[in-house]
A and B are shown apart, each in its own frame.
Chain A
Amino acid sequence: MSGLALEMAAKALKLNIPLSVQLDLTYRCNERCVHCYLDHDDHGEMTTAEIKNLLDQMADAGVFYLTLSGGEILMRRDFFQILEHARLRTFCVKLKTNGVMIRAKEAKRLRALGVESIQISIYSHRPEVHDAITKVPGSLRNSIEAVRFLRTQGLHVVLANVLMVQNAADYKGVRALAAELGVRCSLDPTVTPMMDGDRSILSLNVDQAALREVFRNGDLVGNVEEFCAPPSAVEADDLDSLPCSAGHTACYVSPYGDVYPCVQFPLPSGNVRHTRFVDIWRDSPQLKEVRSITLRDMPSCSKCAHGATCTRCPGLAYMEGNMRGPSSQDCEKSYARTGIPSENFKARHASQQPFQSLKLVQIQGLQPANQNFAAKAEQVHAVGA
């Protein structure tokens, strides 16, 4: 994030403005990725009119960065109507898609509508690996074709890769593919639990050895020595620091109108079908509680050596049962980076409680329980070029 963007984020924080929103338009999808956390049925998505009204409300509330995601956004027949309305309200629009339904015509339209960037999921440069993850034969070919159509229009494209056991050896190949296509790429080393609390897909996460390798790749992390350095001591100022932008300057809205602090933080905070967006943002007791939490309020993390440098995700902590607690997946990453165990790891080791025995919370939406944990905006999970 640039200095100016950080300055604007600080200003939004001070003014209590939701600068960034991820809006999932649908959970329906034309792929069936093995690591996906979504229920792909439609339990009553917002209508076109409801979404346009929500966009108006979000513009009036000060939302600038709007990420449209899913599910597969182009599964909605009204997608371009929605996008057109979003651009009419001058949002900075980013799209997350698998690109399978983007051909020359769609790419041209995206260009005409002034989309800022398009993130396309690519899990491997090898069809046999990518297509096995998406469970759709030919999906890699179609996604790469989409990238070429978008690049022909001069659009900014990012290949989004998720590291898991199936593709652990392929991230360098994806980076080479990105270079060949003239686009950027990112790598997220975290597979998160399913929306209903099912944690079986966590078994797809790569092991410590693979994490260590990724974190020591200078092409990915920049200065390896700095990135993997032992954590600096926790200072008094650190104890007053905020965990991340979730609920502070950013939030997430599901296809059913449920509002959460973040796509990865399934704390139901209101529903725009019943309450105005800005009223949820300003008055929701849940969002107020999230905003009240600093490192000082976290019993384990405030005493942890990694307290000041950890990428702890409050949403993953919440899914482990306590939004003031540690996020074990981030403890794993801190350990892989530095070789120094977190307080949480030490406590678990002392009690001989393995990571896999953690009890995760069941996620309850205000509408039929659905939530997308696709990616967490502005949190340092992804390492990329």
Chain B
Amino acid sequence: MKSYRYVARSKSIAARALGDVTMVMSATDSKLFTLDEIASVIWQAADGVTPLNEIVANKICTQYDIAPEAALKDAEAIVEDLAGHGILLLSDQPLAEQGNSRGGTL
């Protein structure tokens, strides 16, 4: 049986799109991060209920010239990194919406 990974934005962060990047600040340690264009796409799509592989297939592979396997591998590295900073939540089960889907894009 195929396993899925689900990602959701943490509600303890502040975030805003700034041009083609996203500024993110963790409220727990006030550390500031910027997400590049592709990480921003994952961030925006991290609703807790869409599996990561679907996000990659529908939001990344359709927009960027990248092989699905390589894109998923990169995406998994990105979400692991963001989860390590408490910016994203990761689970093998669907997660309730943790952030604000309106997000404040420009």
Contact = CB atoms under 8 A, between A and B. Distances in A.
Interface of A: 2, 4-5, 7-8, 11-12, 15, 17, 19, 59-64, 87-93, 114-117, 154, 156
Contact of A12 (B18, B28, B99, B105): B18
Most buried by B among A15, A62, A154: A62
B16 A156 contact: no
A90 B14 contact: yes
Interface of B: 11-19, 21, 23, 25, 27-28, 30, 32-34, 99-100, 102-106
Contacts of B19: 11, 15
Contact of A91 (B11, B14, B21): B14
Given A62-B106, A90-B13, A90-B104, A116 B30 contact: yes
6 contacts: A8-B18, A11-B18, A60-B105, A60-B106, A62-B16, A90-B13
A93 B30 CA distance: 11
Contact of B34 (A8, A60, A93): A8
A341 B87 CA distance: 50
Nearest to B29: A156
Contact of B15 (A4, A19, A90): A90
Nearest to A58: B104
Contacts of B27: 114-116
Given A7-B34, A12-B18, A93-B14, 11 more contacts: A11-B19, A17-B106, A62-B18, A87-B11, A89-B104, A92-B25, A114-B11, A115-B27, A116-B30, A117-B30, A156-B30
A8 B102 CA distance: 21
Given A89-B102, A90-B99, A64 B30 contact: no
A116 B106 contact: no
A62 B30 contact: no
Given A12-B18, A62-B18, A5 B32 contact: yes
Nearest to B11: A114
A90 B100 CA distance: 7
Given A64-B23, A116-B27, A59 B18 contact: no
B101 to A, nearest CB: 10
A90 B101 CA distance: 10
